[in-house]
Structure 1
Amino acid sequence: MDTKVLLELLCNGNGVSGYEHNLQDAIKSAFNRYTNDIKVDKLGNIIAFKKGVSNSDNIRIMLAAHIDEIGLMVKDIEENGFIRFTNIGGIDPRTILGQEVIVHGKEDLFGVIGSKPPHLQEASEHDKAIKMEDMIIDIGYSKEKVHSLINIGDTITIRRSLTNLQGSRVTAKALDDRAGVAVIYETMKELNKMKHEADVYFVSTVQEEVGMAGAIVSTFGINPDIGIAVDVGFGATPELSKSDSLELGKGPGITLGGNIHPGLRKKLTEVAAEYNIPFQMEITPGLTGTDARAMIMTKEGIPSLVLSIPLRYMHTSVEVVDMVDIKHSAKLLAFFIASISNENLEGLLCY
């Protein structure tokens, strides 16, 4: 399957944190061709294993990209059939007013998010953002009909399909972090052309947006020698400073900061330079906010890296990435994995 086709399939799907099982079949079907074994653990993480060529005790490298997306959840049904809702994961209420949504009840139901018209607002309300608790979802049915199709706790996603922008850029919901899943899929295909000593575990993690539970348990089970979180970074837009953002189309961001293993980060930049793969530096002095946070604190601690795909408008329904960055990210990861051996691992991990 073409990587962009997989990305479109995943972004158009429904997989709010805790409900990622809706995407399992698509991921397993795609990963199956390029790996030796696939399993789904008790929390729902999809773990695809690719065997290395070494006959000795193999190095274990784990790539993690989270499959869950932010979304909404039904919390009440009004007398007139309107649906009250809350958020799952970090959502700015200002980005959802007026959006079309799909309520995932007994069947998928189209609706719209509305609120009090500006004409009827008090003067004191004009300069204030509308709170989520003051919004409703209207699917057009009576209370009785709504109750027959929808339960409290049903999830809701923004109705949006992946769309091509100009050039090699695309816009969609849930590119955070299904773009990362696309990267690890493309990395599988690149590694299929190479020899690598390390055993590689490609993990589509769950529940990253609500506490990284998937990465915690999958890292504990795999106990890798090296962990790499593949996630998204803040794509450059006019209001962002260069030091806080990444340019689209100029390669992935290699994260530099306190949570990142310095020896592995240095090796990753050397590999990028050796194979003329463009990259940028992403400065994250504290917590990375990615699955790497879970990796570094698992068992005795896993030496970890973060590779970030530049992404604009994070945590909205119109996130934007450049497919060129996905290709460059995969090439960099594949060559990095191929460069790791039993002979050089200890030196790389030494402080």
Structure 2
Amino acid sequence: MGKDNYEFLEKYLNNASPTGFEAEGQKLWLEYIKPYIDEYFVDTYGTVVGVVNPAAEYKVVIEAHADEISWFVNYITSEGYIYLKRNGGSDALIAPSKRVNIHTKKGIVKAIFGWPAIHVRKLENEKAPTIETVFLDCGASNKEEVEAMGIHVGSVVTFEDEFTELNNRFYVGRALDNRIGGYMIAEVARLLKENNNQLPFGLYIVNAVQEEVGLRGAEMVAHRIKPDVAIITDVTHDTQSPMYDKKTSGDIHCGKGPVIAYGPAVQNNVRDLIIQTAEDKKIPFQRSAVSRATGTDTDAFAYSNAGVASALISLPLKYMHTTVETVHKDDVENVIKLIYETLLAIQDKQDFRYLS
């Protein structure tokens, strides 16, 4: 990875892009990808699409989602404490003692998730923190002081934790799910441009919003683009750390390569092309079974516009929806390589139907 790529990755991951409020992160992403595309468009809710060969009839999408889980201010007590609602799958269990940023029109307001000390709590039959019990302290003495800071019901809250590396092998931070995906598809666009690859089809590099609340951004943009093929990248669970049951969660390793999904929403012929590409280019990969739905934007594309031939390439990740989401650097490079090589293998107007 070059210096410019790394600086973009760090800046992009550190920027907050909570679900429904992704605009600032989308600006960073678009600015990075502009040199590698012919044109772009942005939809009403903030999904950004870079396009290569916009005049081509046959359309291929590569896609990631831009949003991160967060919180909404829901209730401010008369004493100045703040209770929250989830925005996406935020986990109250990890909240106590965390630092947060409250996003207001006046700028960032710092706050903390407070929690009573262990020796003053009644520990017998103690319950884990829940959304009803965790609260923020922004240093105010009463509700009026909170509101004077610009905080109100509906203000968005994100964790303060930032990007780092672990022993030069892993990237660690909040919101790798799935801004690391946005980075990877941007790198695919960069490789295509720098290697002067002339694709025979239109390529739509999609950084979609609102995945964490039901694949909403992908659903909207799929109907607008009406692609013929969609290759989605998201994260999936590394199952090697304690507390995973491989019989139900599969056997997925960070460091052993991209994960190629099997399931009804995954179009078999597109998936087989990806596997053949990985084997031909000697890219390590793993397999996963996803049952009736992938739980990713793959589902939104697959079931749009009378059906789009769609597949899912996942990045193994540890500790999803925490502030220490962790991915192996080799896996990041291999996902980029696999998407890139698969695009070069797709033919113009390739028919992926099972029957013709």
User: Hey, what does 2:108 align to over in structure 1?
Assistant: 108
Give, in whole Å, the separation in 2 of the partners of 1:350 and 1:86.
45
Are the aligned partners of 1:74 and 1:156 in contact in 2 as well (CA < 8 Å)? yes
Structure 1 runs, 4 residues or longer, greater than 4 Å off: none
- Secondary structure of 2:299's counterpart equals helix
Is contact 2:33-2:190 (8 Å) kept? Answer: no
Matched to 1:319, the amino acid is: E
Q: Contact conserved, 1:264 with 1:349, CA < 8 A, in 2?
A: no
User: Does the 8 Å contact 1:190/1:331 carry over to 2?
Assistant: no
Cα distance in 2 for residues equivalent to 1:235 and 1:2: 29
1:1-39 alpha-carbon deviations (Å, 9 max, x no partner): 733322221221111100001212211110101011122
How far apart, in 2, do the equivalents of 1:245 and 1:10 lie? Answer: 30
Residue in 1 that maps onto 2:221: 218
Matched length:
345
User: Could you say which residue in structure 2 is the equivalent of 1:167?
Assistant: 168
Letter in 2 for 1:349: R
In the other structure, the counterpart of 2:72 is 73
In structure 1, how many angstroms separate the alpha carbons of the residues matched to 2:212 and 2:188? 23
Partner of 1:350: 354
2:213 is the alignment partner of 1:200: no
- The structure-2 alpha-carbon separation of the partners of 1:321 and 1:123, relative to structure 1 and needing over 3 Å to count, comes to closer
Question: Do the aligned partners of residues 2 and 282 (structure 1) sit closer, same or farther apart at CA in structure 2, a change above 3 Å counting?
Answer: farther
- The one-letter code matched in structure 2 to 1:48 is G
- Give the drift of 1:125: 4.3
What SS is found at the alignment partner of 1:292? Answer: helix
Cα deviation for residue 124 of structure 1 reads 4.9
Deviation at 1:241, TM superposition (A): 4.7
| Contact 1:234/1:245, CA 8 A, preserved across alignment | no
Select between 188-197 and 17-26 the one with higher mean Cα deviation. 188-197
TM-score for the superposition, normalised by structure 1 = 0.94
CA–CA separation in structure 2 for the residues paired with 1:146 and 1:125: 34
Larger mean Cα displacement after TM superposition, 148-157 or 237-246: 237-246
**Superposition map of 1:80-99 within 5 A:** 80-99=79-98
Structure-2 change in CA distance of 1:313 and 1:245 (3 Å): farther
Picking from 304, 309, 333, the partner of 1:303 is: 309
Give the whole-Å Cα distance in 2 for the aligned partners of 1:349 and 1:276.
Answer: 27
Aligned-pair distance for 1:173? 0.2
Consecutive unaligned residues of structure 2, counting only runs of 5 or more, are none
**What's the counterpart of residue 187 of structure 1?**
188
Residue deviations 1:259-290, cap 9 Å, x none? Answer: 11011111110011111111111221221000
* Deviation per residue, 1:52-101 (Å, 9 max, x gap): 8xx8x532111111100001111111112111111111122111111111
The TM-score normalised by the length of structure 2 is 0.92
3-state SS of paired residue (1:309): strand
What are the within-5 Å matches in structure 2 for residues 1-351 of structure 1? 2-51=4-53, 58-105=57-104, 106-122=106-122, 124-126=124-126, 128-143=127-142, 144-149=144-149, 150-192=151-193, 193=195, 194-239=197-242, 240-242=244-246, 244-342=250-348, 345-346=350-351, 348-351=352-355
Q: Is the 8 A contact 1:17 1:88 kept in 2?
A: yes
Q: CA deviation at 1:145?
A: 2.2
Deviation of 1:214 after TM superposition, in Å, equals 0.4
Identity of aligned residues (%): 29
